[in-house]
Amino acid sequence: MLARRLVDAGQPTPAWAAQGLEAQLFATTRPGLIAPDIQPLFLSWVYPLVAQLLHPYSRGEMRLRSADPTDAPRYDPRVFSDPRDLETLVDNLELLREIAAQEALYEWIDVEAIPGPGLRSREQLRDHARATVVSGHHQIGTARMGLDAASVVDAQLRALIAAQPELAADVLADTITAFDGLHPDDTDALVRTALAWFEFRGSTAAVGKRLHLHRNTVLHRLERIEKLTGAAFAVPAGAALLYVTLQAWLLRTPGEHTI
């Protein structure tokens, strides 16, 4: 959720200095929070200062409009249905006013245009937030990750595989069976190397240090995996397939698999 605060410029931002988003701040509005709950944004065009709520308590809903799959669904964001969100956003607006009042910004700010110096009380700022709030979001996916009943996958993508082993066996048949013809010790060495490669984000030097292997040995093992499975670590789709395959293999072979 975002609400606006706009100030008239005391002087224009030089063209060479305009970055669009000049600065941002992660902050907490009250003690006891384990993470910031607001993210004020400082933009360069006509100096808008944007109050942004990071973790809203309000929950919206989406429902089918009809039995026709081509009909757009009914969506109700239910903004401010939880009063804590409104209070946090007002706290954010007050923080922006405090920042804008700093001496270092005197020459850059002439007057507050929105919501305006006449709106001082929290109730007035609540009305302003209700009138100007918009949604700000970055889509990242539709499969919820977590450990509760509503989650689709856990942090290692194992929940989906464990819940639907027949699906995993079908989708991963070619890659997961590629290890079946190897000696168990050989398979374990390849799997541990691949898991370490993912843990260290593709750093073969870090993998070698962790497993006490020469870098060329690490590269040789990764190449063997690619030849066995037909998937390449350097290709995003291939790396994703290999990662899920490794998780499925770990579930299929219970026991200690440390790297």
Q: Do residues 123 and 178 share a domain?
A: no
Q: Which positions ≥6 away from 149 have C-beta within 8 Å?
A: none
Q: Given this model, what pLDDT does residue 230 score?
A: 87
Pair 46, 57: CB distance under 8 Å = no
Which of 9-23, 53-67, 117-131 has the weakest average pLDDT?
Answer: 9-23
Rounded to 5 degrees, φ, ψ at 204 are -70, -30
Looking at every residue in the chain, the average pLDDT score rounds to 79
* Count of the separate structural domains present in the chain: 2
Confidence label for 10 from pLDDT (cuts 50, 70 and 90) = low
Give the chain as a DSSP string.
-EEEEEEEESSPPPGGG--SEEEE--B-SSTT-SS--B--EEESSS-EEEEEBSS-----EEE--SS-TTSPPEEE--TTSSHHHHHHHHHHHHHHHHHHTSGGGGGGEEEEEES-TT--SHHHHHHHHHHH-B-------SS-BSSSTT-SB-TTSHHHHHH-HHHHHHHTHHHHGGGTTS-HHHHHHHHHHHHHHHHTTT-HHHHHHHHT--HHHHHHHHHHHHHHHS--TTSHHHHHHHHHHHHHHHHHS-S----
Q: Given this model, what pLDDT does residue 126 score?
A: 94
Q: Using one digit for the tens of pLDDT, what is the confidence trace for 72-87?
A: 999 898 999 999 999 9
Confidence label for 34 from pLDDT (cuts 50, 70 and 90) = confident
Q: Do residues 197 and 102 share a domain?
A: no
Q: For the CA atoms of 40, 45, 48, 53, what is the dihedral angle to 10 degrees? A: -30
Q: What is the mean pLDDT of residues 83-104?
A: 89
Q: Do residues 169 and 112 share a domain?
A: no
Q: Do residues 119 and 216 share a domain?
A: no
The domain of 237 spans 158-252
Does residue 36 form part of some domain?
yes
- The closest of 148, 144, 174 to 157, measured between CA atoms, is 144
Q: Do residues 121 and 174 share a domain?
A: no
Does residue 209 form part of some domain?
yes
Domain's final residue, options 91, 114, 132:
132
Does residue 93 form part of some domain?
yes
Q: Do residues 28 and 121 share a domain?
A: yes
Q: Do residues 21 and 95 share a domain?
A: yes
d(CA 196, CA 212): 12
Q: Angle at the Cα of 98 (from 93 to 103), degrees rounded to 5?
A: 145
Q: Which residues are catalytic?
A: 138
Q: Do residues 184 and 125 share a domain?
A: no
Does residue 142 form part of some domain?
no
Does residue 32 form part of some domain?
yes
Q: Do residues 178 and 243 share a domain?
A: yes
In the predicted structure, residue 2 carries a pLDDT above the cut 70 = no
Q: Do residues 112 and 6 share a domain?
A: yes
Cα→Cα distances 164→119, 189, 249, Å: 57, 27, 14
Q: Do residues 8 and 87 share a domain?
A: yes
Does residue 143 form part of some domain?
no
d(CA 81, CA 60): 9
d(CA 8, CA 113): 6
